[in-house]
Chain A
Amino acid sequence: MFDALADRLERISGRLRGRGRLSQADLDEALAEIRTALLDADVEFSVARDFCAHVAERCSVEALSRSLTPGQQVVKAVHEELVAILGGETLKITYASRPPTVVLLAGLQGAGKTTAAGKLAVWFKSQGRNPLLVGADLQRPAAVEQLRLLAEQASVAFTSAGGDPVATATAGVAEAIRLGRDVCIIDTAGRLSIDQALMDEVRQISQATEPQYTFLVIDAMTGQDAVHTAKAFHETLELDGVILTKLDGDARGGAALSVKTVVGRPIAFASTGEKLDDLDLFHPDRMASRILGMGDVLSLIEQAERTMDQEKVAASAGRLMEGRFTFDDFLEQLSQVKKMGSLGGLMKLMPGMNREMRAAAEQIDDRELARIEGIVHSMTPAERQDPSIIDRGRQARIARGAGRSVADVSQLLKQFKEMQKMMRSLGGAMPGGGKGKLGQMRQMAKAARQNPEELQALLGGQVPAGLGAAGPKPWAAAPPARKGGTNKKKKGGRVTPPKGARIVRLTRGLPVEPRADAVRRDGRANLVAVKLRLVRMGKKKQPTYRVVAADSRSPRDGRFLEILGTYAPRGASKADPETIVKIDNDAALKWLQQGAQPTERVQKLLVTSGAWEAFTAAKAAK
């Protein structure tokens, strides 16, 4: 979804490359493209118009920023505007202090309410709740039956008294109390927003059941009408959020943007698949990144975290990077990846995918995986450990066993060999000069955790040969704040950034032009972000910390750029137990304004010291 917008932006950005300044004509042209993209994505007319106006505004302000090329300025402005609109927090469900928490679903016919109700029940179950489904759609033939079947599939309780929808809903809530269910999901009939009688009815249901959450279910394919519908339902029901369904098609989901803008209520959930558990909280920031083709590594990782056997994966990934990768490892990886879901879907979350790659990912047939697996399974254990022993005779045997042609087998072997080679070279190129040791990977991972964009960039740069993701990612590459590799042995020393070093904030995906000196010999970008973090000092039982600004790449061996203060959770000293946080606010502000990212703990400290407030105030003033 939103692919067209990403593609168009790519094109605009490409066309504006090489221009020194963003001229009014360029901007107008870019805005026209953006508007068309939005309208094609079914964003409501006025919303699209306002969006463009805001982007234009941002662009004229951004014109001051010399470090960005015109194309990047436009992309950045669009990204910011998207985040601003979609923006805000992911919905956090607050449960009623006196259960049940009543959730009411309403919407047009065919939006997917009944299915959404079933999926929502599964979601609440996964949150450790105990939901009850109430079928109050007495309108459509067999709707109650459908919900009952869904409830059965999801193994959650279901009730529907029948007769009058309002009475059914109230009875449902009573039933939830009787059964001790803490969440009560009410499915209502589809209704047109102009059908006064039915709108009154749903209002009565709402008044009778006093839901904590009222969600409007909207089809992602909805066109201009989405806004009218959302407005009408909002006026009647006081919506708390929107559930966007059928987002797994190629609908661009512009309705999401329109509804958020006009009604001001967030997209709470998005349904992205056919299965009952394909309903997830909607993450606006990730969506914005995805729109701009930046991938969605966080979602990918979350998915991995949920489904993968972590020990096994980490172990075989370690071997993989050392180049000691066998077919057994490959099988293992394959089965883990398969657990995560369809390859095509997963690839869409990968960063560094350009349009062609995305298109290719769409076409991946998961059955192909099964065929590959079949070939590998037809090998003997010895062959799997050491594919080099596979000669013609063995190949023929394997082919027979797998029901494939000998050519298929030899192709697989050839590619496997190439893959091993590639992995070896990659292993050497890992950050920290790692020879593939897990510890180093963890190191990298740690840095990346604090800086997801960096992780994206790392990974984007890591799969160059096959994935077409070679070369620096324009938004992630940054000139080094200091030369990498110097002062390697020195511990605890103070490192001053070289003169003229620019420190660039990376975490918001700010596109920065890669500088020649920011690209290493192997073609990957050097990544530098500055973190504000703690360095542990003091005795074991009397820990004190330094608050420092540090290059996020460096291992945590105490090297840093500047000391900003101290944090002594148990008091600075026995004599001075009162002083817990001491921070040079001016220095901290300076770093923050240059884009340094505080860790969570440091951010809390900065809030305490007041530096954070100064920073946000300064930002707002800008």
Chain B
Amino acid sequence: MTTILLLVLALALVAAVGVVVWRARRPSPPSIDASTATPLPAPPDEVAPVEPPPEPTAQGPPEALAEVDLVEPTPSAQSLRGAATKSRGLFAALRSLRGRGKVDAATYDELEETLLRADVGVSTTQAILADLRARVGAGELASTDDLVDALREDLIARLELVSGAAPEDLVVDPDPEVVSVWLMVGVNGVGKTTTLGKLAAREAARGNPVLLAAGDTFRAAAAEQLTQWAERSGVELVRGEAGGDPSAVVFDAVQRAKARGNGVVLADTAGRLHTKVNLVEELKKIRRVADRPPGKVTEVLLVIDATTGQNALAQARQFTEAVAVTGVVLTKLDGTARGGVVVAIQHELGLPVRFVGTGEGPADLQPFVARDFVDALFEDDLAEG
């Protein structure tokens, strides 16, 4: 409390002095015309809803979607690789390393640059390189070719190690009395709603009648967006009032699922920055409520935008702390971004990547396969070698 009193006072003082300053300035105001653009007041008061940036979405008319094979959302590396190639062959830079023979300092610099440019992050990159250095030192790797191959294997091992066997099988509680809840969390605009829609389409196609909960009651028109998804894949949706309590929506959805015999509730949440304590508390509450019998939260998927840089680590850390994230969905991998930050997330937090989103259609959600992911990164390189 002491601090608060002092802070208020200090602020009041600053403000008072400032105000006097400004008043003193009045007599000869600088010529302010409309274009001088005095900064806009930004008086944020209390806790407020989250800024709702748009999320990516499905495109194309629904009738076209009907033709898409929803049953097997091609877990092959083909499309992933395609996506990565489109984005300039991510590790193309490594090509120049091939066949150079001896490993020297410049080689490491190049590897470092490549990893850093892929958003892997400084500390993870250094850890990876330290491993490689040790192996070169031990005489295990002689040429740059070996080194590049070793890097590739190393990345696969890192990603596979924690990913486990089947990332695509999200956990459903075996007890038929229990309604499993899969929660989508993440910051604004990463594609939670879109991912949820794709996931719903996928589950529906697999004959798992899921129930959607439009837990994003904050962003304008978020529920409408999800409604469109629900209609496309013919699943049911529970939505609440705009601005209502998201926990209530999730609660209702669990009750409804119980009554209708849906085994799984897919719950959307509003995007929130992991630094907003009040919003994270709200998320914790959603989780608590969803965990109330007959509901049980079996998966909490953190959606991360592949364009995100090192901040994704902070996001993963905070969300894991708050709601025990069980896996990551990496979206927007069809752009130029590399999504290398998942390596860092796995390295530092051991969170497995479960799915990758590579487009806006319902089928553009694939289970994450470490080998394919890394192969896609190395594609140019493999073609060369």
Chain A residues within CB distance 8 Å of chain B: 36, 39-42, 45, 90-95, 108-116, 122-123, 126-129, 137, 139-143, 145-147, 149-150, 153, 190, 192-194, 219, 221-226, 228-229, 232, 245-246, 248-252, 254-255, 271-275, 277-281, 283, 297, 299-308, 310, 313-314, 316-317, 320, 330, 333-334, 336-343, 345-347, 350, 360-366, 368-369, 372, 408, 411-412, 415-416, 419, 423, 438, 441-442, 444-446, 448-449, 455, 458-459, 462-463, 465-467, 600
Contacts and interface: CB of A to CB of B under 8 A. Distances in A.
B75 interface: no
Contact of B15 (A108, A153, A340, A366): A340
Contacts of B225: 140-142
Contacts of A366: 46-47
Given A142-B225, A146-B54, A304 B18 contact: yes
B208 interface: no
Given A273-B42, A419-B9, A455-B21, A109 B55 contact: yes
Nearest to A340: B43
A364 B8 CA distance: 11
A142 B310 contact: no
A192 B53 contact: no
Given A340-B43, A341-B42, A446-B21, A141 B228 contact: yes
A309 to B, nearest CB: 9
Contacts of A272: 42
Given A115-B51, A274-B49, A317 B307 contact: no
Contacts of A467: 6-7, 10
Interface stretch (B319-327, B334-342, B373-381): B334-342
B311 A42 contact: yes
Contact of A463 (B10, B87, B229): B10
Given A108-B307, A248-B273, A462-B13, A364 B7 contact: yes
Q: How large is the interface on B (under 10, 10 to 19, 20 to 34, 35 or more residues)?
A: 35 or more
B118 interface: yes
Given A113-B54, A304-B14, A320-B9, A192 B336 contact: yes
B251 to A, nearest CB: 24
B12 A445 contact: no
B158 interface: no
Given A224-B119, A224-B338, A361-B7, A146 B219 contact: yes
Interface stretch (B168-176, B187-195, B252-260): B187-195
Contact of B311 (A108, A251, A412): A251
Contacts of B383: none
A194 B54 contact: no
Given A109-B191, A442-B24, A337 B42 contact: no
B307 A222 contact: yes
Interface in B164-220: 187-191, 219-220
A225 B337 contact: yes
A108 B45 contact: no
Q: Which 4 A-B pairs have the closest CB atoms?
A: A223-B309, A301-B18, A110-B189, A317-B16
B71 to A, nearest CB: 24
A368 B39 CA distance: 30
A580 to B, nearest CB: 19
Given A92-B36, A224-B119, A337-B15, 15 more contacts: A45-B117, A90-B37, A190-B54, A194-B87, A232-B336, A245-B53, A251-B311, A280-B42, A297-B14, A308-B15, A339-B43, A343-B7, A369-B4, A455-B21, A466-B3
B214 to A, nearest CB: 11
17 contacts: A109-B54, A110-B56, A141-B229, A146-B222, A149-B221, A192-B332, A192-B336, A224-B116, A246-B189, A252-B310, A281-B39, A303-B43, A306-B43, A313-B12, A341-B45, A343-B11, A365-B277
B105 to A, nearest CB: 15
B328 interface: no
Contacts of A39: 116, 121-122, 310
B35 A301 contact: no
Interface string B250-280: 0000000000000000000000011111000
A317 B36 CA distance: 31
A316 B8 CA distance: 13
Interface in B290-342: 305-312, 314, 332, 334-338, 341
Contacts of B56: 109-110, 140, 190
Contacts of A224: 116-119, 309, 337-338
Contacts of A221: 187, 305, 308-309, 311-312
Given A40-B121, A111-B189, A92 B19 contact: no
A601 B250 CA distance: 64
A31 to B, nearest CB: 14
B41 interface: yes
B92 interface: no
Interface string B345-362: 000000000000000000
Given A112-B189, A223-B307, A279-B42, A320 B336 contact: no
Contacts of B129: none
Contacts of A446: 21, 24
B51 A112 contact: yes
Interface of B: 1-25, 30, 34-59, 86-87, 113, 116-119, 121-122, 187-191, 219-222, 224-225, 228-229, 273-277, 305-312, 314, 332, 334-338, 341
A127 B6 CA distance: 35
A317 B311 CA distance: 41
B44 A275 contact: yes
Contacts of B334: 192
A110 B332 contact: yes
A449 B25 contact: yes
Contact of B53 (A91, A111, A411): A111
A163 to B, nearest CB: 14
Nearest to A269: B40
A252 to B, nearest CB: 7
Contact of B19 (A314, A320, A338): A314
A226 B337 CA distance: 9
A592 to B, nearest CB: 22
B14 A140 contact: no
Contact of A341 (B21, B44, B53): B44
Nearest to B25: A449
A459 B16 CA distance: 11
Interface centre among A129, A251, A442 (most CB of B within 10 A): A251
Contacts of B3: 360, 364, 466
A313 B19 contact: yes
A93 to B, nearest CB: 6
Given A190-B56, A221-B311, A274 B44 contact: yes
Given A110-B305, A127-B37, A222-B309, A336 B15 contact: yes
Contacts of A111: 53, 189
Nearest to A301: B18
Contact of A145 (B116, B191, B224, B308): B224
Contacts of A442: 20, 24
Contacts of A415: 1-2, 5
Nearest to A279: B40
Contact of A308 (B19, B191, B336): B19
A114 B58 CA distance: 17
B188 A278 contact: no
A362 B273 CA distance: 14
A112 B341 contact: no
Contact of A448 (B17, B309, B335): B17
Nearest to A125: B40
A229 B46 contact: no
A459 B18 CA distance: 11
Nearest to B228: A141
Contacts of B18: 297, 300-302, 304-305, 445
A341 B43 contact: yes
Given A108-B307, A281-B39, A446-B21, A223 B337 contact: yes
